[in-house]
Chains A and B, each alone.
Chain A
C-alpha cells in the first residue's frame, strides 16, 4: 500500500476515471452491474453512504427525471420510462461511488503538493464550518432574546444584523486561518 499522500492521489485519479466512465454509459444492464460491483467493493461503510445518497441525492436523482417525465406526459403523450430510469440510476450510482471513495481519501493530504489549492481548500472549509457555527449561535441568541419561539418575521427582521455579524466574524476567522497557513509555510 503506497504511503500518503500518494495513496489518496491514486484513489482520486481512479475515482475520476470511474465517474467519467460511468457517466458515459446509458445501458441499464451495465449500470446495474456497476452498482452491484460498487456495493461489493465498498461494502464496508456502505450503509451510511447509501443513507446519504437516499437522503441527499436520490430526491434530486429521482425527482428530476420524474418531474421531467411528468411534464412531458402532461404536455404530450407519456414518453418511455427506461431512459428516465437510467438517468436516475446513473446519477445515484455516481453519487454512491463518489461518497464511498471520499470516505477513504484524505483530501487535504492529497492536495498537499499543490499549495494554492490547499490554501483555498483550507480557507473555504474553515469558512463553511465557521459560518455554520455562527449561524447556529445566532439562531440560539435570537431564541434566547424572545419569550416565544422566533417566527419567520423575527428571522427576517434580525437577518441584517445577523449577516453583518456573520460577515465580520467570518472575515476575522479567514484572517486567522490565512495567518495560520502563512506561519506553516503556505505563501
Chain B
C-alpha cells in the first residue's frame, strides 16, 4: 500500500512531515534509548522480516500497491511506537535504496502503515486477547491492515479532491482497488503471518528478549 513519490503534492506531504517528525522523535527516544539494548536483536530481526515481506508488491489501480506489512506483530509484541519507528526505517531504506515508496511521501506512508495500522492492531489485540491469544493476534493484524489501507486510500482520495489534474484517479476507484485485495486476501495473509511468526518466535525462544 505504498504511495510512490510524485503521487501526492506538498499540500499533503508537508503537513504529514510536520505531524510525523515530533512523533518519530518521541517514539525513538522512548523506545530505542540505552534501555532498549536487550530488545534490539529481536526488534532488528522483525524489522528485517518486515522489510523482506514488504518487498513483494503488486501494483493496484488508484496509485498504490498491495503487499503485507509485517509490522502488526511489532505493535502487538511491543507497542505502536516501536512499530512506527521500525516501519519508518523500513520505508526509508526502501525509498533510499530500492526506489519503492519515496522520500516526500515517507511521512504519509509511515503514519498510515506504521502508526494508524499498527495502532489499530494493538488496540484490537488488547481488546480480544482475553478470549484467545492467537485469535486476537490474527484479528489485530487483520484490522491493522484494513485501517492502514483505508488511510492510504483516503489520502489519495483527498489529493484527487484537492487537485484532480495532479491526481486523476477518483477516491471511489482508489478505495475499491485498494480495499478489495486488502479485505479478501491481504488481511487474512497478514493475520496468518502474524500468528505464525509469534509461534515461531516462541519456538525459537526469542520472545524472552522482549
Chain A positions within 8 Å of B, measured between CB atoms, are 15-16, 19-20, 22-24, 26, 52-53, 56-57, 59-61, 63-65, 67-72, 75, 79-80, 83-84, 87, 90-95, 98-99, 102, 107, 116, 119-121, 123-128, 130-131, 135, 160, 163-164, 166-168, 170-175, 177-178, 182, 187
Contact = CB atoms under 8 A, between A and B. Distances in A.
A91 B7 contact: yes
- Contact-residue size bin, chain B (C-beta under 8 Å from the other chain): 35 or more
Contacts, number: 195
B200 A167 contact: yes
A168 B167 contact: no
Given A23-B5, A98-B96, 9 more contacts: A23-B8, A26-B9, A26-B163, A60-B100, A90-B6, A99-B99, A171-B206, A174-B44, A175-B41
A145 to B, nearest CB: 20
A136 to B, nearest CB: 12
B77 to A, nearest CB: 12
A174 B168 contact: no
A173 B45 CA distance: 9
A26 B44 contact: no
Contact of B5 (A63, A91, A107): A91
Given A23-B8, A95-B99, A123-B40, A79 B168 contact: yes
Given A26-B166, A98-B99, A124 B9 contact: no
